[in-house]
Structure 1
Amino acid sequence: MYKLFIQAVFLFLCFFPFTVIANGINDVLKQADHLRTSAPDESAQLLASIPVEQLNEKQQAIYSFLKAFSTLMKGETQNGISQMEALANNTPFSDIRTRALSSLLNSYSGLHEWNKAFTTIELLRHAMVKIDDINIKDYAAIATISFYTNIQEYSSARSHAQLLIETTSNDRTICSAMNKKLYADIKLSNSNITEYNFKEAISFCQSLGETVLAQAIVTNLAQYYIDQKQPQRAQKILLENIDTVKSLNFQSLTSFFISLLIEAYEGSGNLESAAPYAEDIINNYSSDDFYYSHLVAFKVLSQLSERNKNYQESLVFFKKFKALEKRDFDDKMAQKLAIQKAKIDRDNQLKLLNKENKLLMTQTELVAERTRNTQLLLTCTVLLLGIAIIWLIKSRITHKMLRKIAQTDELTGICNRHYFTSQAETSLNYCQKTRQEVSFIVFDLDHFKQVNDNYGHQVGDWALKQAVLAVQKMCRANDIIGRLGGEEFAILLPGCGTDKANQLAESCRQAIANISTSETGHQFKITASFGISHNAQAGYDLDKLFACADQALYRSKESGRNKVYAYQDEVAVPS
């Protein structure tokens, strides 16, 4: 829904100049109105130069509209809406009121305030009765198309836009309508549109000096390329125009533009190029106002950190991404419910008015109406329950995923060091309470650095995974295996004496030595050295067990590697 909000803001505020009232101040007002979308900063400067105390009533109304419009363009949405509401409620001029209502309709639907939006569209229809100016009618038509877009009635939005293109003589209106028609075509997956349709519209709007609208169509073209699995073409068109977009100082458009560029880089697998733009979004754009852009940014940064094996940073970014994804999901569900409720409220209001005017509703119809309302209430209740269940399932899946990331070594699939330590200490406490024996094995791969240096890290990763698989086949179900770091691993053996631990370690050593490396395309030997300790020497203290096993491992390596040594009475002896 965030994308709809961005489209609603920067696709609508785009056309219709006021008629010149007189010279002087009227000319400045006309110029400010003409530039309000193509050069919003210049428009704001012109308004600032106007002596407000010298304005007559009509000039004051025009000035108030343009000031409110400028405030919306700057992204100060609530402030701009307050100004527009005051103008719509108090101005005596029907043309100004119509324009204010049109802007409010767009803003309310963009902010998902659907009850206000449906109320406003009814007010706008009544206001249009008093309007003869075709340009103002076009302006209201654009607002209506934007409203259809926001409530996802894309077929209606497209047909109204096409009708407006065919009937209006105002080029700025045609530019805006072309924009909205292309956006609806994308949402409807219209197979008849091609990149030529977008480029033709961009060229037309640029010829009018409508830079904001032209760049809005650029975003539609980029989205079209992304949907067509052509991310490189989306990158090209976005990079060609990004400086122009940034110069407009229109944060809604700029943040959406950058988020599309990030998605295009992600689509081509070029996460490194996406990263600076993701950081730009996070550092320079509010997550409250532009949360979808932040969602895209955190997703890419999480993927890049994971690729670079910076798993802790990846997890931080992933959590932020999931939180924003949940917000996006909740917003979509809330919007659907709110639109449905607003439609129901509107329908009920119309039915009540019809009852008052005709006085022909029978008791049977009243009972039927109550039944329909009950059914609607039950439907909404079931829908809310379904949403809650989906959210709970999704949250549970996310929790499991995060827990697995936090506990598992990504390469080998066994416990990482932190989780291994936690599990081992829990098992040692239990063995101590139940007076069970416990053994501890530490092993690492011999000359592993040479494997990486001679055959590359990809082959090294393969060797690590194969070694772990070989060891897992030898271990019991209750043995705890963990990767301590690099090529070093540990195994805790609850209820296992020294003899059995020696046998298991020797089996693991032989299994690793028997690994065939032919599938890598290289011939080399994989061996490992093992050190064993037992609670008889080290007690049930994990650090002491580790230290003793490590000394035995050292002796194994010192005596030629590919051996198994056990620690006994401070001396490591071969098993």
Structure 2
Amino acid sequence: MDARWRRSLGLTRVRVVSSTLPMRMSPRRLRTTAATTMTRRMTARLRNSGLPAMPLGSPKQASGRINAARGLAGGVAFFSSIFACCALAVEPQSVSKLLEKADAIKTADYAEFASILTSLKADASRLSPAQRRHLRYLEGWQSAYNGDYTSALPALTSIANEPGDLPLQFRARAAAANVLAVSTQYEGAFVELGKMIEMLPDVADGAAREQGLAVAAYLYNQVGEYDLGLDYARMLEQENWNGRGACRGAQLKLEALYKSAKLRTVGQEFQSGLDACAESGEVLYANVIRTFMARLHIDQKRFDDAIKMLNDHYEELRQTRYSRLISEFDSLLAVAYRETGNAELVRKYAQRAIDNGARGQYTEPLVTAYRLLYVLAKEQADARAALVYHEQYAAADKGYLDDVTARQLAYQRVNHATVADKLRIDTLHKENEVLQLQRALDKKAVETSGLYITLLIIVLLSIALWAYRTKRSQLHFMRLSQVDGLTGIANRPRFIELAESALEAGTKSTQEVCVVLCDLDHFKSINDKHGHAAGDFVLKQTVAACQLHLRGSDVFGRFGGEEFGIVLPGCNLHDARLRAEQLRLAIAAISSSYDGVELTVSASFGVASTASSSYELRQLLADADAALYRAKHAGR
């Protein structure tokens, strides 16, 4: 999921902003904050007068009426600006209203939010302690929004630990968890999430609950706990504080459903989510929903639909200045244009995706952009550019995968630490009971001697049980970190570890050792034509077929994607080639009927031996890789 998005990850609004503007019309700021406030007050008075309200009607009619309203607002702006400079002095209560307004519009109209914050900072000395605390929270949120996590995190953490205002504490902790996640400090993020969830039952403030539920749903989506993410997203929809939870909840729910492969087509649930976001004026979350729609369009080969939808909303998204989501739009446009054969637009949007990406972070749009630029350069026979882009693509892909792995491990570590802490607390409670009973034993030595022994045994058993469970959990997590989750064989780090052990043993015994690399031919086309589920099926079938022909002493692991590695101790080059041919025939004989479609599977192999490549694993892998690509070029 993230990887694990400053605004959409829980840096969420906590006050409602009422707007009936259509989604394609971003609200424009009036000349001054005072003018905006006066216009809204006039509107409120008109509504309270009992006169019938005028519906906006269609987007075109709404546009005309909104422009008329802007004309009226512009007419009063001059007179309003005369009193704006002294508004705080005349109406002290307006400070709280400005804080609430800034809080409410920070994702819907960031420009006005920043303007209000600037004016409040200039007059910070006149604010009450509670108002200054609220202002500090908004400043921390703004720093996080602008990517300044170093400044944001201390400010938010400080407020989260200050007693007195439980809703603000809760919101600051939720924002801190979000900042830790987007700055790849995942372990800290899940620690804060655990504290936040413990506080949730005591928080009654609707805005704070909305923010906390959104952060919880987002973080669980990021680590693949889609059922938990879905639960919190639905809670957010059901509570629907001031009509805003329907939009944010729908976005997080659709994210969980899409990433868990439970959505295959663009259905009514997407339109319902967009309608909810339109009602609350949430351009940002509406466009997050559109990224999932675009991906489904692309999966269904409806490239023109994806391009039209993304282009129609590109400008309104650009106005939000949220670079992470803009980069996502650029990346999806580049993919869609690639499928339609428009190389120039592929290059344009791929480069934009890189330029708009977060500096120093590896994201999926960045990986996609470098891959497309590499493919274009390769097709145009620009070897130098292709090499540069391929290196950048490889680095970005590795960084992104490392980030996903770090996110998962952090979640598991925090879960494990939580269980261990609870067991320690239980043990301490039991030990305390033992101490209390020991005082009573001094008075009743005869009666308590048997009880003392019994209790001591209970404590020892509890400690032993705790130690056993802890050790079992550690072994379980260690096994998970060494095994490829899809195929059940060794992952790349574990394979390298086992291969080096086999080579070390071969060096001592002067046995010849061979390394075989296997790469499935045209695997990408299987994914593209039949989906990743079909690709996963082929990978599992391939592993099962190969295991039938491997010895117990052979090392078998998945390098990543469709590439596998095999180490054959005590096997010379001739025998290794025969073994590789057996494996190739076994893979070719796989009956890969998936979902009623026959999938043709073949593989290419590269073999290297210590007799010609030494006992250095890096050299063996390089020689085997070279042999593999010679085999591919010679005919798959």
TM-score range relative to shorter protein: 0.5 to 0.7
1:268 Cα offset (Å): 4.1
Alignment of 1:196-345 (within 5 A): 196-283=268-355, 285-345=357-417
- CA shift, 1:220, in A, is 2.2
Residue 27 (1) aligns with residue 97 (2)? yes
Amino acid at match of 2:318: K
Q: Distance in 2 between matches of 1:314 and 1:123?
A: 48
Look up the equivalent residue of 1:100 and give its one-letter code.
A
Native 8 Å contact 2:186 2:406 kept in 1: no
Partner of residue 388 from structure 1, selected from 477, 493, 509: 493
Please tell me the residue identity of whatever aligns with 1:24: S
Asked if 1:143 is matched to 2:215, the reply is yes
Report deviation, 1:185: 1.1
Structure 1 counterpart of 2:474, one-letter code: L
Letter in 1 for 2:379: R
Native 8 Å contact 1:145 1:180 kept in 2: yes
Find the residue that maps to 1:298 and give its secondary structure.
helix
Letter in 1 for 2:468: T
Partner residue, 1:5: 4
* Aligned pair partner of 1:376 in 466, 473, 476: 473
Tell me by how many angstroms 1:371 deviates: 3.1
Q: 2:496 & 2:344 partners in 1: Cα distance?
A: 32
Give me the whole-angstrom Cα distance separating, in 2, the residues matched to 1:376 and 1:228: 42
CA gap of 1:22–1:287, structure 2 versus 1, over 3 A, is closer
Cα distance change of structure 1 residues 58 and 177 upon mapping to structure 2, 3 Å threshold: same
**Code of the aligned partner of 1:81:** L
Question: Are the aligned partners of 1:255 and 1:281 in contact in 2 as well (CA < 8 Å)?
Answer: yes
Q: TM-score, normalised by structure 1?
A: 0.63
The answer to whether the Cα contact below 8 Å between 1:226 and 1:264 also exists between their aligned partners in 2 is yes
Q: Which residue does 1:127 correspond to in 2?
A: 199
**Who is 1:363 aligned against?**
460
What do residues 380-409 of structure 1 show as CA deviations (whole Å, max 9, x unaligned)? 444445441467999x999999xxxxxxxx
Amino acid at match of 1:388: P
Unaligned stretches of 5+ in structure 2?
A: 18-36, 38-90, 432-454, 483-490, 500-514, 521-636
C-alpha contact (below 8 Å) 1:198/1:217 kept by paired residues: yes
Q: Deviation of residue 11 (structure 1)? A: 4.5
Match of 1:95 among 148, 167, 183: 167
Query: What's the CA shift for 1:44?
Result: 0.8
Q: Which residue of structure 2 lines up, in the alignment, with residue 38 of structure 1?
A: 108
| Structure 1 spans left out of the alignment, 5+ residues | 402-575
- More moved, 64-73 vs 229-238: 229-238
Rounded to whole Å, the distance in 1 between the matches of 2:321 and 2:11 is 15
Letter in 2 for 1:61: R
Write out aligned runs for 1:181-196 (5 A): 181-191=253-263, 194-196=266-268
Counterpart of 1:5, as a letter, is R
Is the CA contact 1:11–1:179 (under 8 Å) kept in the aligned structure 2? no
Structure whose alpha-carbon radius of gyration is higher: 1
After superposition, the Cα gap between the structure-2 partners of 1:334 and 1:163, relative to the gap in structure 1 and judged at 3 Å, is closer
Q: 1:336 to 1:163 in 2, by over 3 A?
A: closer
Name the SS of the counterpart of 2:175 in structure 1.
helix
The size of the alignment, in residue pairs, is: 398
Contact 1:14 1:176 in 2 (8 A): no
* 1:339 aligned partner, one-letter code: Y
- Residues 298 and 336, structure 2, Cα contact 8 Å, conserved in 1: yes
RMSD (Å) for aligned C-alpha atoms: 3.2
What CA distance in whole angstroms lies between the structure 2 residues aligned with 1:286 and 1:167?
33
Report the Cα distance in structure 1 between the residues aligned to 2:495 and 2:115, rounded to whole angstroms: 51
Residue type of the alignment partner of 2:94: G
Give the distance between the partners of 1:397 and 1:174, measured in 2 at CA.
Answer: 54
Q: TM-score, normalised by structure 2?
A: 0.57
Q: Secondary structure at the match of 2:366?
A: helix
